Structure 1
Amino acid sequence: MSFASPDKLIWLLAALPIIAFYILKTRLRRRSVATLLFWDQVFEQKRQRSLWQNLRHWISLLLQLVFVTLLGLAIADPLWNSQEDSGQDLILVVDNSASMQAVDPASGKTRLRQAIDRASDVAGTLRSGDNIALITAGASVRVVVGMSDFAPTVQEALLEIQPTDGPTRIDEAIAAARRLAADDKKRRIVVFSDGGVPDRDLLSGGPSSSSELSADDAESETPDVPPDWFSGDDVRWIQVGASVDNLAITTFQVRRSTVDPIGYSLLVEVRNFSSDPVETRLTLQLDDAMVDVIPLEIEAEGAFRKQIDGTSRGGGVLTGTLKTEDVFPVDDVARAILPDRPEIPVKLVTGDASESYYLRRVLESIPLVRIVDSDASARLTVFAGTVPETVPEGPLLLVDVPESGPVVGPGNQPAWRLGRRVEQPIIAKQDKQSPLLRHVQLQNVILSGGRDLEVNEALGAPTTLLETAGGDRVCVSIERSEGRILLLASDLDSSDLPLRIAFPVLMTNAMNWFFRETGEIRPAIATGQSSDVLWDVAEESPSQTARLIAPSGERSLVTVQRGKVKLGPLAQTGVYRLASEEDAEAAFAETAASIAGDDANLVAVNLSDANESDLRLPELPETTAGELPPAGRSPWFYLILLAAGLVITEWALYQRRVVA
C-alpha cells in the first residue's frame, strides 16, 4: 500500500506532545494534616493494585498513539495496491443489451441491475487525480458521461440507464473507450456484462459459431483466440448473472405468397437454448383474431422451422406468441405487418376508335381490380384513346392519349401538349428509381404510336418515366394533391407492349402507386439494425421529414427520400408507426387500436438475435489487466472508522472509570 499525499504524514508528529504529557509528572502540593494514621492505610491499599491497574496508564497512552497514527495515515490518503499508479482514466462500460433484462432466479434482480450495482461500487473507489467515464453498449453505443473527476455524477447516471431490446455492441463500446482515453498507460476499461457477445465460443477457446469465416480461417490450424477487442491489459471483465435456459422466436418474417395473389407466406423459427427437450405452443393472431395454434416439440439444442401459408385481404399486425414462462419474455413475442389489400373498382372509358381489348384484359387479370360502370363507385378512372373535358379529381390513367389535355390553371393552358408522332420510338432511358417501373425492363422496346408529352406544371409535378433515343417523353407521371396521374402516349392495339410480361407488371405497379401502396409486405426489422423502409408520401410536400412513433410513444425525426425512410438502429421491440409532420400530433394521441388499423404506416421490430436469446453464460478467459480496488470505500474511510473505535475503547477502559 502506498500514499497519494505522503507529505501529510507529518501529522504523525502530533504524537510527541501526547507522549510528553504522559511523561511529565504532576508535582504534589504539601499540606499539613492533623494525623497520618488514615493516610497510611490508604497508601497501604494502593500498593496492592492489580496488574491491570498498573498497566492501565500505559494502555491509555498506547491507544491514543494508535489513534493519532490512524488519523495521520488517513490524511495521507492511502491507496490500494491496484491504485498505486497516479492519475488513472477509468472507463465503465455497462452492457444494456436485450439479454441483460433476464432475471436472476436467485436474487430476483435483472442482470442490468446487478451490473449497475457493481459499477457503482467501482465508481466509489475513485480518488483524487483520477478521471472516470461511463459508456453503455446496448442497441447503440452511447457515451453517457464523458471524462470527469466527480464520481457521484457517474453513480447518478448509472441509475438512469434503461435496458434496450437490441444486441450488444461491446466491441464498439471498448473501441470508443480507447478513443476517449488515448493514454494506454493510464487507461483502465471495466466491462460489466453477462458475456453474451457475438462469437462467444471464441472467448472460451471453442470452435467459432460464426458462419462467415473465410476459407483461409477454415483451413488454418491455429487455435481460436479471443478477439482483439476482448483481450488487452486495459480491459477487465466483470460478469453478472447466472446461466438459465431459454426458448425464443428467432425468425418471424412474412412475404407475398407465390401462389395466392392476396396471400402471404410466414417463415417462423423457434430455438431451444437448453440441454433438455421442451414442449410448448406457438399462437398466431392477426390483430385480435386467432389464426392458428401450433404445438411444438423441440429437442435439446434444437430448433423448429416451418413455412406457413395464409390469406388475408384485410391486413393487420400478425403476432406470434410462445406459451412459455421464462425469465426473458422479450423474445417470446414476434410481429409482422400484413398490408391491407382492398378491392380497387376501376372505370374504363374508351374512345370511339379503340376497343382497348388488351388493356381491359390486363386490368381484369389483376386480382384486386374490378371493372365498374358507375363513376360514384370507381376509385380509379382509366381513359384509353380519349381525354376528359376537364381533369377530374382522383387518380387517373390515360393510355393512347389522342390530343392535348383540357385547360388548367389561371391562363387556361392545356394540361399537356402532344408532339409529333414518332416513327419507331425505341425506349432508350427509363427511371429505374420510380416505383412504377419496379421489376419492369422496357429499354429497346418499340412503343408504336409514341408521341412526346410536355406537361403543364400547373397540373402538377411531372416525372419522365420513359424516354426515346430522340428525347421524346412517352410516359410521364404527375404528382398532385387531388390524385396522381399517369400518361402513356402509345397505341396499345398496334404495339407489342401488351404482349410483354412487363405490361401487366407495369399496370400492377400503377395500381399500387395510385393509392400509395407498395404492394409488397414490409419485412420485420431486427433491433439494432438499420434499414431502408418503403413509405410513399407526396413529393410536392414542402417537408421531406416525418415522425417515427415508438411503441413507448417516444417520437423521433426521420428523413424521407424518394419514397424511402432510413430507420435504425431501433432499440425497442414492437410496432412502430410512421407519421407525417402534420399528422404527428394526432397520431400521438391515437389509441393502439386505431394505430393498428393503419397498417400502411406500420413497421414491426423483433429481437431476432439468437446470440441475445442464449442466456447461458460463456466461460471468460483469464485477463492480463491489473486488479481492481476492492469495491466500496477508499482505505482512508476504514482508517477513520478504526480510529473512532479506538476512541470509544479508550474511553471505556480509562475515562469512564475516572468519571465514575
Structure 2
Amino acid sequence: MSLASPDKLLWLMVALPIIGFYILKTRLRRRQVSTLLFWEQVFEQKRQRSLWQNLRHWVSLLLQLAFVGFLGFALADPLWNSQADRGQDLILVIDNSASMGAINPDTQQTRLEEARSKASDMASTLRNGDNIALITAGTSVRVVVGMSDFAPTVVEAIEQIKLTDGPTQVRDAVAAARRLASDPERRRIVVFTDGGVTDRDRLKAESSNDSDADQESRVAQDESTTPEDVAFDGRLDADDVRLISVGQTLDNVAITTFQVRRSTVDPIGYSLLVEVKNFSEDPVENRLTLKLNDVLADVIPLKLQAGESYRTQIDATSQAGGVLTGELKDDDALLIDNVARAILPERPEIPVHLVIGDESQSYYLNRVLESIPLVRIVDQSQIDQAKLHIFAGVVPEAIPDGPVLFVDIPADGPKQFAGADESQGTPAWRIGEAMENPIIAKQETSSPLLRHVQLQNVILAGGRDIAVNEQLGNATTLLETATGATVCVSVEREQGRILLLASDLDSSDLPLRIAFPVLMTNAMNWFFRETGEIRPALATGIAADVPWDIGPVEETTLARMIGPAGDESPVTVKDGFAKLGALSQTGVYHLTTESKNQTPIDGQEQPTEAELTEGDQESSTSASDLEAGSLGEAVAVNLTDPNESDLRVPELSDDASAPLPPASRSPWFYLVLAACGLVIAEWALFQRRVVA
C-alpha cells in the first residue's frame, strides 16, 4: 500500500495536544471542612476502583489516538497495491437506444435504469488522480460530460440520461471515447449495453487481448487502414474496452417494415408494404390493426413461428390522405416497435372545365373523365373553381393559366406571342393538315404520361402534325407517326403544364383501347405533379432529405420542424428538399415555414437574434400557430431496426473484454468508517458515564 498525498500525514500532530491533556494533572484546591469522617469513606471507595479508573482513562486515550490516526491516514489517500501509480481516464459509455427501454418483468425496470444504476456505482469509485467522462450512444453519439476529476457531476448527469427511439451507436461512441482520452495506458472505456448491435453473437466470441502482431495483420489485410485508424476505430474487442451487459433475454414481436405509396394507375389507390417479425423463441399469435386517421381500415391475424417474418403488400383505395397506422395488439417488453406510421398523400378533387367545339361530340372523353374518381366537371357558373381546363375541338382566344389539355385540335394556337410585326402575333403552335390513318411508330417511354401505356401501331384518325412555339415553353414529343409527324406534345411552362393531342377521338380507335383511360389518369397525375412515387417513412437515427416545394429552388429557406412531443427545431430547405438530421423519436413530424413571408438565407437580410428569440417564444404547436405559417410536409418516423427489436442479450465472459477498473472503494473510505466507529465506542465507554 502507498500514499497518494503523504504530506497530509502532518495532521497526525493533532495527537500531541490530546496526549498532553491526558498527562496534565489537575491540582486539588484546599477547603476547610468540619469533619473528615465522611470524606474518608469516599476516599476508601475510590481506592478500590483506582485501577479500573486509570485503565479506563488509558482506553479512552488510545481510542482517541486511533481516531486521529485513521483520519490522518484517510487524508493521505492511501492506495491499494493494484491502484498504486495507475491513474486512469475512465470513460463511461451508456447505451440509451430504443432497445434499452425494454422492461424487465421481474424488476419492472428498464434496461436503461439498470445501466444508470451500474454506471453510478462505478463513477462513485473515482479516486484521486483519476479522470472520468460520460458519453451516450443512442440515436447519435453525445459527450454529456467531458473529462473531469469531479465524479458527482458525472453521477448527476447519469441520472438525467433519457431514452431515444433510435438504433444504438455504441461503436461510434467507443471511437469518440478513444479520441477523448488519447493515452492508451490510462484509458479505460466501460460500455453499458444490451448488445443490440450488428453481429452481436461475435461479442462473446472475440478476444480482447489482441497483440501488436494481430493489429499489424489486420492493417495488412486492408491497405487503406493505418495503425492510427486501428487505435481510434470503434472496435469493441480491444484491450481498453469493457462491455457490461444489462438486461435479460426477452421475447418480442415487432413491425420491421411499414411503407405506403399511391398507385400510379388508380387515382385513389394505394399499396402498403408491411413486415412483422417474431424475435421470440416460441410461436406467437398476434393481430395487426391498420387505421387511416384513426378510422379502422383492416385487421390482419398473424401466426408466426419462432424467428419467422410475415411480409405482405396490401392494396386499398382512399381519396383521403393522412396518417396510416399499424399496431400490434401485444404489450410485450418493447412497446416502441409495436406501432408504425406512414403518410398517405391526399388525392384532392379536381374540378374540370370542359369546353367542347360545335363539331365535336367527345363522347369517349366525357365517359373517361366521369370514370376518374377525382374528376368533377363544373359548369360555366363554377368556372372560377376549375383547376384543369380541357378544350376538345376548339381553340380559345388565350390559353388560361394552370394546367390545360387540348384534344382534337382544329387550328393553330392563339396568337399571344409578339412577332416581327408587333401588330400581329405568332401562334402558340401550328397545326398541319389532317393525315389519313396515321400510325404511331414511336413514343417517349421515359415520360410519366406514357407510363403503363403502349400506343405503337395504334391508328390516330384525324391526326395532325404539331409544331410548338418555343416561347410557349419546353416542349417534349410524346407520340410520333411513321412519317415523322408529331401528334402528341407535352409543354412545361411556368403558368401550368399543357398537353396537346391532335387526334379526333370520335373516329379514332384510341378510346377503344385500355391505354386511353390509363393515359388520361397519367395526365391528371402529371398536371398536378402527383407522381405516385413512394413518400417513405423515415427510420430513426438516419438523416434524410424530404421533398418540400415552398419557394424558388435556387434559394435556401429557413423553416421549422415540430416533433411528436411538440418540440421545435430549425431546418433548412434547399433545392426543393428539407434537410433533416437523425431524428431521435418515433411519430409524425410536421414541417412548417417560419412565417407567411419566407426569408431566404442566401443574399437576403437575416433576422436578428432578438427577432429569432421572440419568434421562438411565440411559437407553439397549437392549431392557430400552424395556420400562422404554411403547413408543409408531414413526415412519419418509425423504429425499423431489427437489431433493436431483437432483445437477446449476449452472455459476455470476463475473458471476452478488458478487465474492469478497480471497483472496490479506496482505503480512505474504510478508514473514515473505522474512525466513526471509534468515536461511538469511546463515547459509550467513557463520555456516556461522565455525562450520566
Same fold? TM cut 0.5: yes
Q: Find 1:650's aligned residue among 682, 686, 691.
A: 682
Q: How many residues align?
A: 608
- 1:525 is aligned to 2:538: yes
What is the CA-CA distance between 1:361 and the residue it aligns to?
A: 9.7
Q: Which amino acid aligns with 2:6?
A: P
Q: Find 1:331's aligned residue among 332, 337, 349.
A: 337
RMSD after superposition? 4.9
What is the CA-CA distance between 1:67 and the residue it aligns to?
A: 0.8
What is the CA-CA distance between 1:546 and the residue it aligns to?
A: 3.1
Q: Which residue of 2 aligns with 1:612?
A: 644
**1:151-550 equivalence runs, <5 A:** 151-205=151-205, 229-256=235-262, 262-349=268-355, 368-369=374-375, 374=380, 376=383, 378-382=386-390, 388-389=396-397, 392-396=400-404, 402-403=412-413, 406=416, 449-454=466-471, 477-479=492-494, 484-487=495-498, 511-512=524-525, 514-515=527-528, 517-539=530-552, 544-550=557-563
CA distance in 2, matches of 1:9, 1:609: 58
Q: Residue 253 of structure 2 contacts residue 278 of structure 2 at CA under 8 Å; is this kept in 1?
A: yes
CA distance in 2, matches of 1:160, 1:614: 26
Q: Runs of 5+ in structure 1 lacking a partner?
A: 207-215, 217-226, 423-429, 442-446, 456-461, 468-473
Q: Residue 388 of structure 1 contacts residue 406 of structure 1 at CA under 8 Å; is this kept in 2?
A: no
Same amino acid, percent of matched pairs: 61
Q: Which residue of 2 aligns with 1:223?
A: none
Secondary structure class of the residue paired with 1:588: coil
- The change in CA–CA distance for 1:451 and 1:28 in structure 2 (over 3 A counts) is closer
- The change in CA–CA distance for 1:46 and 1:641 in structure 2 (over 3 A counts) is same
TM-score by length of 1: 0.76
CA distance in 2, matches of 1:308, 1:232: 47
CA distance in 2, matches of 1:79, 1:646: 22
Give deviations 1:11-44, integer Å, cap 9, x for gaps: 334435545655x464877979999988876666
- The change in CA–CA distance for 1:541 and 1:364 in structure 2 (over 3 A counts) is farther
Q: Residue 80 of structure 2 contacts residue 667 of structure 2 at CA under 8 Å; is this kept in 1?
A: yes
CA distance in 2, matches of 1:628, 1:564: 48
Give deviations 1:385-412, integer Å, cap 9, x for gaps: 876545645444578894566489xxx9
Q: Residue 351 of structure 2 contacts residue 387 of structure 2 at CA under 8 Å; is this kept in 1?
A: yes
Q: Residue 338 of structure 1 contacts residue 521 of structure 1 at CA under 8 Å; is this kept in 2?
A: no
CA distance in 1, matches of 2:69, 2:426: 99
Secondary structure class of the residue paired with 1:73: helix
Q: Which residue of 2 aligns with 1:426?
A: none
Q: Residue 559 of structure 2 contacts residue 591 of structure 2 at CA under 8 Å; is this kept in 1?
A: yes
Q: Which residue of 2 aligns with 1:566?
A: 579
CA distance in 2, matches of 1:109, 1:21: 57
CA distance in 2, matches of 1:161, 1:503: 60
Secondary structure class of the residue paired with 2:112: helix
- 1:640 is aligned to 2:672: yes
Q: Residue 316 of structure 1 contacts residue 339 of structure 1 at CA under 8 Å; is this kept in 2?
A: yes
- The change in CA–CA distance for 1:234 and 1:413 in structure 2 (over 3 A counts) is farther
What is the CA-CA distance between 1:189 and the residue it aligns to?
A: 1.7
Deviates more, 1:31-40 or 1:547-556: 31-40
What is the CA-CA distance between 1:371 and the residue it aligns to?
A: 5.9
What is the CA-CA distance between 1:54 and the residue it aligns to?
A: 5.7
Secondary structure class of the residue paired with 1:109: coil
Q: Which amino acid aligns with 2:660?
A: E
Q: Residue 338 of structure 1 contacts residue 599 of structure 1 at CA under 8 Å; is this kept in 2?
A: no
CA distance in 2, matches of 1:362, 1:132: 73
- The change in CA–CA distance for 1:50 and 1:325 in structure 2 (over 3 A counts) is farther
Q: Which residue of 2 aligns with 1:458?
A: none
What is the CA-CA distance between 1:70 and the residue it aligns to?
A: 1.0
Secondary structure class of the residue paired with 1:453: coil
Secondary structure class of the residue paired with 1:164: coil
Q: Which residue of 1 aligns with 2:436?
A: none
What is the CA-CA distance between 1:564 and the residue it aligns to?
A: 3.1
What is the CA-CA distance between 1:135 and the residue it aligns to?
A: 1.6
Q: Which residue of 2 aligns with 1:143?
A: 143
Q: Which amino acid aligns with 2:353?
A: K
Secondary structure class of the residue paired with 2:471: strand
CA distance in 1, matches of 2:188, 2:426: 71
CA distance in 1, matches of 2:249, 2:25: 72
CA distance in 2, matches of 1:630, 1:649: 30
CA distance in 1, matches of 2:238, 2:62: 48
Give deviations 1:273-312, integer Å, cap 9, x for gaps: 3233222322221223222222222233333333333222
Q: Which residue of 1 aligns with 2:123?
A: 123
CA distance in 2, matches of 1:514, 1:485: 8
Q: Residue 468 of structure 2 contacts residue 475 of structure 2 at CA under 8 Å; is this kept in 1?
A: no
- The change in CA–CA distance for 1:324 and 1:405 in structure 2 (over 3 A counts) is farther
